[in-house]
Amino acid sequence: MKTPRSALPLAAAVALAIVICPAAPPLTAQEGATPFGAISCSSNFGNPVLLDKKLFHLVAAPAAEIASLQKSKPALSVEPIAAAKFPYRKVDIYLAEKDLGENDPEESDVSLYVRAVGNQKESWFTIAHDREDSPNLEFFRRTKGDTGPESGIDKDDDSGPAISLALKNYNVPIFQVSWWRREVGASTEAAEQKILLLDFRTLHPAVMSVVQCISAEGGGVCGVYDNGSAPTTALSCAWDAMKSDFLCMSSETGDYTPPVTHRFYLASGADAPYTVKEGDPPTLNAVAAWSTYNGLRGKAPDVPGLGAVTVLGRYAPDGAQQTAVLLASRGNNSFAPRYFAVVVDSQGRSPAFEILPQPLLDERLSVLATDLPAEPDTRGYVVPALINAADKFADDAAPAFQVQALESLPKVSLWQVTARQGMSHEIVWLAAGFNSGSGRFVFSAVRIASDFGAYAQCGRTRSEPFAAAIERKKGTLDAMLDVEPAHQYDQEGKRDDSGDQGQAVTPCPVKVRMFWNASVGFVREETDAYCPNTTSARNLTISDAGAITTNPDDSQKQ
């Protein structure tokens, strides 16, 4: 279960049901001994922390609403604000709440208004939203008497949303407004904190950030498993006076998510790249450059955005003026490794590509299919290498790679790469060729076997298709593979494959013919294998040396 996204309704006229929040004493920018040192927020069940601030706008407040507000005192009044540096010398913030009535007496809608004074002129702002049907429609809704997950405050004693000058001893007009909402479903309860950061450093103020922190529990029979497997996202920001911005670090952690952190600046949205250790090459291209390749064989230098990178090998075809270097690293979005090729030119030009391993079977089959594709697979599995130097792994659990040369032909070479991370393994066939007709390198990879596994909802897991047996023709890249299809397992580890009607089935093995095409790389042709009624599923074991063994899987759920 994901708790509903919040959002901001369009500004409406102030009605009689609106109650102005109690006034707070005036606050000057010099008060307070410590700055707003950090924004700290986390959301579980796969919910994001940052919402799209482009959907939230500070706009001119209607005159009718201003007239009602001027009868009360502001919830926060800040002055002076370094008039020589910022356009406004005073900022007043008003908070108002509108009861939802008998339909929901425990909740109210929050409204926000700002009076900014500068050069003897005042401007009034409120917040509007682009679309009424936005999934964030309920962002400005709060639960009365709720000031935190363990709050026991009675709604009649509720002081309302909290508001403060975010950077008190930096004398910067950035304001934080926050409130809480509690959601209760049939099997799930969530405490949600909503945070707005408003930036009044320019003549045209803006919403700096929209933050949502969700702490949810429960989820029903399947939700307990699904929500537990979903990642938890955390955000931590601290003020960077040199950049005049918050430097933030976001991270995701979970059973099926590698611990990757990302650094960026909150207001500008610009990435903040990590720096490498002194003496390490700073980019993937530099790892494969002529000047460093020979010295890096057998080593795993750190590359920003990738972590430890392993050099797998080099391919220099006859007649080509360039050399291709093959590399591998840990995967950012999954625990499966990533594979790269860098084409190194002696003149210094070195474009980098990512090689996406093809699956053995195009479809994740749970029942026997009769019409498997026989046309060559010409989809692109090679893309430009996109690496974000602001990403970094939060642990040192880098995979180890073992490389075995299978073929070295005039126009193509083939390697078997065995990757090991912890107790998990995968085997990938990685090939580099040269098409003399087009003058281009051709890279391709196929995932032969993997025991990394994947989550399959409601506590189930799923194995990947694997080659139980391989017949390879020496002197070519041609091979015939006996492929065990994907299987699903329940919470107790019993095989739980089912057909269209929910009946227990055993997906049949598939024969896959694989060969090399000089233009597109590996091509796979799938055909039905003989599938008697007594077919038994097979389990996979991959050794550290890359040996594949199988044994019957008799754990079919009865």
Q: Residues 254, 368: one domain?
A: no
The number of helix segments (H) and strand segments (E) in the chain equals 4, 35
What is the span of the domain harbouring residue 546? 284-553
pLDDT at res. 119: 82
Q: Which residue has the higher pLDDT, 376 or 372?
A: 376
Amino acid at 161: P
d(CA 524, CA 374): 8
pLDDT > 50? residue 375:
no
> What would the pLDDT profile of 225-275 be if each residue is shown by its tens digit?
888 889 999 999 999 989 999 999 999 988 888 899 999 999 999 999 988
Residue by residue, what is the 3-state secondary structure of 407-468?
EECCCEEEEEEEEEECCEEEEEEEEEEEECCCCEEEEEEEEEEECCCEECCCCCEECCCEEE
Q: Which residue has the higher pLDDT, 168 or 334?
A: 334
Which residue's structure tokens are 């922390």? 49
Average pLDDT rounded to a whole number, residues 39-44: 91
Q: Residues 299, 197: one domain?
A: no
Q: Residues 236, 339: one domain?
A: no
Closest CA to 428 of 462, 464, 456, 392: 464
pLDDT > 80? residue 532:
no
Q: Residues 293, 259: one domain?
A: no
Query: Given pLDDT bands bounded at 50, 70 and 90, which one contains residue 506?
Result: confident
> What would the pLDDT profile of 437-496 be if each residue is shown by its tens digit?
888 899 999 999 999 878 888 888 888 999 999 999 999 999 999 999 988 888 888 888
Peptide bond preceding 80 in cis form (omega within 30 of 0): yes
Q: Which residue has the higher pLDDT, 381 or 528?
A: 381
> What would the pLDDT profile of 273-297 be if each residue is shown by its tens digit?
988 877 777 889 888 888 787 777 7
Most confident segment among 374-378, 455-459, 467-471, 505-509:
467-471
Closest CA to 246 of 104, 41, 517: 41
pLDDT > 60? residue 525:
yes
Q: Classify residue 259: in a domain, yes or no.
A: yes
pLDDT > 50? residue 22:
no
pTM above 0.95, yes or no: no
Q: Classify residue 274: in a domain, yes or no.
A: no
pLDDT > 50? residue 373:
no
pLDDT at res. 329: 95
Q: Residues 212, 312: one domain?
A: no
Pairing status of strand 107-118 against strand 76-78:
unpaired
Query: Given pLDDT bands bounded at 50, 70 and 90, which one contains residue 406?
Result: very high
Of 234, 265, 296, which closes a domain?
A: 265
pLDDT at res. 347: 66
Contacts with 398 (C-beta within 8 Å, 6 or more apart), sequence order? 300, 307, 308, 329, 330, 421
Of 201, 235, 265, which closes a domain?
A: 265
Q: Residues 65, 37: one domain?
A: yes
Q: Residues 479, 452: one domain?
A: yes
Q: Residues 304, 387: one domain?
A: yes
Of 265, 300, 333, which closes a domain?
A: 265
pLDDT at res. 100: 82
Q: Total domain count for the chain?
A: 2
Q: Residues 329, 463: one domain?
A: yes
pLDDT at res. 132: 55
Query: Given pLDDT bands bounded at 50, 70 and 90, which one contains residue 138?
Result: confident
Q: Residues 225, 352: one domain?
A: no
Give Cα separations from 337 to 213, 329, 354, 424, 428 (angstroms): 31, 6, 11, 11, 10
Query: Given pLDDT bands bounded at 50, 70 and 90, which one contains residue 155?
Result: low
Task: Please say whether the beta carbons of 127 and 8 come within 8 A.
Answer: yes
Query: Given pLDDT bands bounded at 50, 70 and 90, which one contains residue 436?
Result: confident
Q: Classify residue 10: in a domain, yes or no.
A: no
